[in-house]
Amino acid sequence: MELYLKAGSPGRGMSAWKVVLLLVGVQCLHVVALKSQLFTRGDALDYSSRKAVDYKTFYLNQKIDHFGFFENGTFKQRYLVADQHWHQAGGGPILFYTGNEGDITWFCNNTGFMWQVAEELGAMLVFAEHRYYGDSMPFGPDSYSDSKHLNYLSSEQALADFAVLIRELKGSWPGARSSAVIAVGGSYGGMLAAWLRMKYPSVVVGALAASAPIWQFPGMVPCGDFHRIVSQDFAASGPNCDVNIRRSWGAIDKIASTAEGLAWLSGTFSLCAPLKSRPDSVAFKEWLQETWVNLAMVDYPYEASFLQPLPAWPVQVRTSLM
């Protein structure tokens, strides 16, 4: 079993502001899918000076189905706006966060890059919530009830939501019509940012897409690439870190081969339900693997509380305890 991680995030990209400046000035640029090298640990930016986020919450009526005629209903899509640094009269840019699979306030409060560059660029920040997450439920409490209601949960529909929202902002927000819009996202949100530029080039002038495996489909990218990048991140965080985690899987198998070992694992890890069989131990390893993944996924260079309150570079901190 490999440990694994996503490399890079909008919070890591500390020299990426130069790319954003370029996108603001050049209308014909293609999507910028930044490589992880752009998000290095050697940047001199002082993360301790991060400003507290301050935004206003709005809702926009969106079509449940942008492409068909069977479903004519609408739902309220939530989006957050921070315009305290926006150069309204000067046509300051709009940095548009393409929401991921979660409550948009999570990402708004933990996407350091956009908040770092807002004042310097004179930018308006917009964080758009992805349909079926947070407050943006197309069918309210029934949104996840069955396949009929889930039918409209797709990246295509989400991209259409974002395009409609951007057009609405530029048409109704005083001073926004002349503002260049740059899509920003990380992980799945980064994929959406890149795809938004590809599919709706008249809506956004460019995209800053971190950790965005836009070609990660069978037959296009080796299936093990994600695992390889994760292992590299842990390997770079301390001597033998990745090696020790790999060895732990075999150790767990050996311990879990007896009833006494299963009881020891259950007590040592304070599990809510005791492990009773080998299938239980497999599920336990999957749980541990997910823990490593989540830790690495929020391996930001500053303190953050995206999934849990964590210190800066949490992987490195954890590795130092091994």
Q: Of 10-14, 78-82, 108-112, 303-307, which gets the smallest average pLDDT?
A: 10-14
HEC secondary structure over the chain: CCCCCCCCCCCCCCCCHHHHHHHHHCCCCCCECCCHHHCCCCCCCCHHHCCCCCCEEEEEEEECCCCCCCCCCEEEEEEEEECCCCCCCCCCCEEEEECCCCCHHHHHHHCHHHHHHHHHHCCEEEEECCCCECCECCCHHHCCCCHHHHCCCCHHHHHHHHHHHHHHHHHHCCCCCCCCEEEEEECHHHHHHHHHHHHCCCCCCEEEEECCCCCCCCCCCCCCHHHHHHHHHHHHCCCCHHHHHHHHHHHHHHHCCCHHHHHHHHHHCCCCCCCCCHHHHHHHHHHHHHHHHHHHHCCCCCCECCCCCECCCHHHHHHCCC
Please compute the mean of the pLDDT values over residues 175-195 and round it to a whole number.
95
Please compute the mean of the pLDDT values over residues 83-93 and round it to a whole number.
92
Q: Of 23-27, 109-113, 157-161, 243-247, which gets the smallest average pLDDT?
A: 23-27
Q: Of 65-79, 125-139, 216-230, which gets the smallest average pLDDT?
A: 216-230
Predicted local confidence at residue 128, as pLDDT: 98
Average per-residue pLDDT in the chain?
A: 83
Whether the pLDDT of residue 22 is over 80: the answer is no
Please compute the mean of the pLDDT values over residues 131-157 and round it to a whole number.
97
The class (CATH top level) of 17-210 is alpha beta
pLDDT band at residue 52 under the 50/70/90 scheme: low
Whether the pLDDT of residue 25 is over 70: the answer is no
For the chain, give every residue range classified as CATH 1.20.120.980: 225-319
Predicted local confidence at residue 293, as pLDDT: 84
For the chain, give every residue range classified as CATH 3.40.50.1820: 17-210
Gap between the Cα atoms of 74 and 178, Å rounded: 29
pLDDT band at residue 50 under the 50/70/90 scheme: low
pLDDT band at residue 90 under the 50/70/90 scheme: confident
Predicted local confidence at residue 291, as pLDDT: 86
Whether the pLDDT of residue 33 is over 90: the answer is no
Whether the pLDDT of residue 34 is over 80: the answer is no
CB-CB neighbours of 70 under 10 Å: 7
Q: Greater confidence, 126 or 300? A: 126
CATH superfamily of 225-319: Serine carboxypeptidase S28, SKS domain (1.20.120.980)
Predicted local confidence at residue 32, as pLDDT: 27
pLDDT band at residue 275 under the 50/70/90 scheme: very high
pLDDT band at residue 237 under the 50/70/90 scheme: confident
